[in-house]
Amino acid sequence: MSFVAIIPARMQSTRLPNKPLADIAGKPMVVRVVEQALQSDANMVVVACDDMAIQDAVTVAGYACMLTRNDHPSGTDRLAEAVDRLELPDDAIVVNVQGDEPLIDPELINSVAAHLASDASLAMATASHKIETAEDFFNPNVVKVVCNAASQALYFSRAPIPWDRDGFADDNEDVDWVLPAELNAQRHIGLYAYRAGFLRAYSKLSASRLEDIEKLEQLRVLWHGYKIGVYLAAQAPAAGVDTPEDLERVRAVFAAKL
């Protein structure tokens, strides 16, 4: 199986300005992400960015990068431009590796790509892992996914789904919630694999009201009737970098390796 890993990176970040260039053990974060992606089975790894400073940092390190438009509304739209620029065939598999995931597991990249390759009916694939705590289950910042028998997404939500009507029957706020063992609640992992042809189609799909309400871009795909396969990972991946605190935590991980 062959696939291409594309890393969309943009300079603007509300909580962490110039995030792609943040230093992690002597290298910009975006370069650390490239190095992780290169440990996967991808036959090509390319950064698609919106700023010359990012392009310079990546190319100086010896890796591939392309400068894309700076007005893309999402990373997926940036991917669509990159797919066209690379002239990838419609059946090519493209994995979107987030530019703020310097600890991404290369095997997780491989698994999501393989999940998509295994079923021609899927437009895209993503990943999940089992939720172990009530704290995560009820946290709106933890995105949940419910799947059908074929491991295809039925819905993504910030709400606690699936809701165990009997198990959660006591509505007393002081209850120490415990997740029923059979609930099998799953946390969505934001790693995506697409067929290049679908990426080209995606940029033309209208946004959905559900996507707007939940602030979850992947709901546009389900809204328009496309199938999303979900690979169930054995464990949660290392967290990405959204805040200065996240950055310090990741720096400590890399420092411990030196």
Closest CA to 243 of 52, 7, 22: 22
Q: What whole-number distance in Å separates Cα of residue 129 and Cα of residue 120? A: 23
Whole-Å CA distances, 258 to 24, 25, 52, 152, 252: 12, 8, 30, 41, 10
Q: Who has greater pLDDT, 52 or 72?
A: 52
- When pLDDT is cut at 50, 70 and 90, the band that residue 171 belongs to is low
The answer, yes or no, to whether residue 246 has pLDDT greater than 80, is yes
Structure tokens at 225: 């009737």
Closest CA to 217 of 101, 88, 79, 102: 79
Structure tokens at 101: 């995931």
- When pLDDT is cut at 50, 70 and 90, the band that residue 175 belongs to is low
User: The whole model's pTM is what?
Assistant: 0.92
- Tally Cβ neighbours within 10 Å of residue 105: 17
Q: What whole-number distance in Å separates Cα of residue 16 and Cα of residue 247? A: 9
Beta bridge partners of residue 258, listed in sequence order: none
The whole-number average pLDDT for the span 104-111 is 97
Q: What whole-number distance in Å separates Cα of residue 177 and Cα of residue 171? A: 10
pLDDT digits over 114-143, tens only?
A: 999 999 999 999 999 999 999 999 999 999
* Beta pairing class for 23-24 and 27-28: antiparallel
